[in-house]
Structure 1
Amino acid sequence: MSPRNPGTTLDLERISKVRVNTQAVLKRAQFIQRQKIPKKQWQAAWLLKAATLIDLTTLAGDDTASNVHRLCLKAIQPVRYDLLKKLDMHDKGVTTAAVCVYPSRVTDAVGALKAADSSLPVASVATGFPAGQTPLETRLQEVRIAVSDGATEIDIVINRMLAITGQWEAMYDEIRQFREACGPAHMKTILAVGELGSFTNVYRASMVAMMAGSDFIKTSTGKEAVNATYPVAIVMVRAIRDYFMSTGHKVQWA
């Protein structure tokens, strides 16, 4: 795991001055998409690296202890042994980054990984995922329960109404409370970018989330009409760069 981001005080003046040049972002995204894709062993290497960065996830209404158990076994060995053997990676401990489940399934995941003698971390979505519209105390309690049951990463969702209406101080305060409830667990803040309305709002939400102590910022829940896109990725990564340049704290992107 990367070092924690302690956050900073909220700089509303900085947030209010942000204006993102939409055409410049779209032009940059088009340039990146035209780049050549690696081939042969380089492509295999990148695909293998990608597997190690995945949070293998189940967030279904019919989740049970048994399918969480199967998910954990898949996370421990996400790539077939014979393929790893051909790449000479069979003894390198290739796993996914984590297993991600709802708070009520954290105990199942922790137990399955322990039984398999695996140290793979368990992540849990919380705070009223995916809409984030439940009462604040309910969302905070979800975080506390998931951490108590053994989750070492909490994926929170922001209250999009606060971002859309420019209530940045209220959004910052909520995320700070989630950060405190996470305790030792890393916090990943999901912005649901498809519902924020503009690249400027995406940048502002990214910066507020980092100022509030997010260790990761993530594009989307996967439930919105628009999720991760190249332009959004550029805006968020540039916000991460700007935050690092001003604070020295590295925040991860997902």
Structure 2
Amino acid sequence: MPDTATFPGPGASNAAWRAFLHGLPGVDAVGLQERAARLGTRSIKESAKGFAIDTAISMIDLTTLEGADTPGRVRALCAKAAGPEPTDRSVPRAAAVCVYPDLVGTAVEALRGTGVAVASVATAFPSGRAPLEAKLVDTRAAVAAGAAEIDMVIDRGAFLAGDYLAVFEEIAAIREACGDAHLKVILETGELVTYDNIRRACWLAMLAGADFVKTSTGKVAVNATPANTLLLLLAVRDFLAATGRQVGVKAAGGIRTSKDAVKYLVLVNETVGPAWLTPRWFRLGASSLLNDLLMQRHKLRTGSYSGPDYVTVD
């Protein structure tokens, strides 16, 4: 675990950032993948399945991030997030609805009084290729419209070129622009090439002020995996031990079934402990997962699967 005395801060040179980040312990890729796979084989007791499914539902950021999104689609998604199963009030609500900045106002109005947060992707999502000034405008507009959470993407090009200072300063500037809104920093782990790079990007984001570190945009070939999520969990655990500041983790992209979701909950429980099994500290970014969770929940309660019209088609 790094010594806080070695942490670079605002004003540190690119050389200082390189020395710190490349001084982090190397990742044992084989060991990481084996541990993630081993944890993924663990079963949970039948009596705990209902708790696991409800916990997973409460952690979902229900997301629509398409060029064809309309206010009507966003309102429908908000209704589903606030009441996933209208005939059963015992079903937990989702954690948040995530939309593009121009639809934040629609989501805020639809979710008022429900307790479901509005999140917005900003900073030229999903590529991150835009001037900082444009990203700041994007962020401030989303916050002004009522977004309680901002999901930003890092400049992977700058990071891979070794310009760590530029990436740090950009995250810090977006963090300031967020004000009271939480900042989730998307690392886009599938484009960072190595596990060592993922660990470095995670520490860079946390030191710049991230409230959450997030695996992916869901828009690339490789998104959340058990191994890269485990690596983020290990990093936030070490960061908490070193600094006393807790940072959340969001696994996003490719998580479609209840079985998948439970594997991620086991990763959380076994790596950072049950205190993290809350939407405050762990999220699942998904668009199709909720339907499967609802069907599995119905199966647990009734003994049979529901018909094809039991859940809405997103």
With normalisation by structure 1, the TM-score equals: 0.88
Q: Which moved more, 1:105-114 or 1:184-193?
A: 105-114
Q: Indicate the SS of the match to 2:36.
A: helix
Q: Which moved more, 1:143-152 or 1:60-69?
A: 60-69
- What stretches of structure 1 move > 4 A for 4+ residues in a row? none
2:99 is aligned with what amino acid? Answer: V
Residue of structure 2 equivalent to 1:9: 9
Deviation for aligned residue 1:118: 2.2
Deviation for aligned residue 1:29: 1.6
Given that 1:147 and 1:182 are in contact with CA atoms closer than 8 Å, whether structure 2 keeps it comes out as: yes
2:146 is aligned with what amino acid? Answer: G
Are 1:207 and 2:214 an aligned pair?
no
Deviation for aligned residue 1:119: 3.3
CA distance in 1, matches of 2:243, 2:126: 30
Q: CA RMSD in A?
A: 1.7
Residue of structure 2 equivalent to 1:3: none
Measured against aligned partners, the alpha-carbon deviations of 1:206-242 in whole angstroms (never above 9, x if no partner) come to: 0000000000000000011101111111211111111
CA distance in 2, matches of 1:48, 1:133: 37
Are 1:61 and 2:58 an aligned pair?
no
- The count of residues paired between Structure 1 and Structure 2 equals 237
Given that 2:190 and 2:216 are in contact with CA atoms closer than 8 Å, whether structure 1 keeps it comes out as: yes
CA distance in 2, matches of 1:34, 1:76: 32
Given that 2:125 and 2:152 are in contact with CA atoms closer than 8 Å, whether structure 1 keeps it comes out as: yes
Equivalent residue runs for 1:1-40 within 5 Å: 9=9, 12=17, 13-18=19-24, 19-36=26-43, 38-40=44-46
Deviation for aligned residue 1:169: 1.3
Residue of structure 2 equivalent to 1:4: none
Measured against aligned partners, the alpha-carbon deviations of 1:48-92 in whole angstroms (never above 9, x if no partner) come to: 11000011111111111111111111111123534x6xxxx36xx
Given that 1:206 and 1:236 are in contact with CA atoms closer than 8 Å, whether structure 2 keeps it comes out as: yes
Equivalent residue runs for 1:1-254 within 5 Å: 9=9, 12=17, 13-18=19-24, 19-36=26-43, 38-82=44-88, 89=90, 94-114=92-112, 117-254=113-250
CA distance in 2, matches of 1:238, 1:118: 33
Given that 2:60 and 2:94 are in contact with CA atoms closer than 8 Å, whether structure 1 keeps it comes out as: yes
CA distance in 1, matches of 2:244, 2:187: 22
- Give the percent of matched residue pairs that are identical in Structure 1 and Structure 2: 42
CA distance in 1, matches of 2:167, 2:106: 32
Deviation for aligned residue 1:120: 2.0
Deviation for aligned residue 1:8: 7.6
1:113 is aligned with what amino acid? Answer: L
Given that 1:154 and 1:187 are in contact with CA atoms closer than 8 Å, whether structure 2 keeps it comes out as: yes
2:41 is aligned with what amino acid? Answer: R
With normalisation by structure 2, the TM-score equals: 0.72
**Residues 119/45 of structure 1: CA separation in 2 closer, same or farther (3 Å cut):** closer
Give the gaps of 5 or more residues in structure 2: 1-6, 11-15, 251-314
Given that 1:8 and 1:212 are in contact with CA atoms closer than 8 Å, whether structure 2 keeps it comes out as: no
Q: Indicate the SS of the match to 1:81.
A: coil
Residue of structure 1 equivalent to 2:280: none
**Residues 216/8 of structure 1: CA separation in 2 closer, same or farther (3 Å cut):** farther
CA distance in 2, matches of 1:149, 1:215: 20
Measured against aligned partners, the alpha-carbon deviations of 1:83-137 in whole angstroms (never above 9, x if no partner) come to: x6xxxx36xxx210011110000011111123xx423211100000001012211
CA distance in 2, matches of 1:80, 1:229: 32
CA distance in 1, matches of 2:142, 2:72: 19
Deviation for aligned residue 1:39: 4.7
Measured against aligned partners, the alpha-carbon deviations of 1:129-188 in whole angstroms (never above 9, x if no partner) come to: 001012211111100000000001000000101221222111101100000110110000
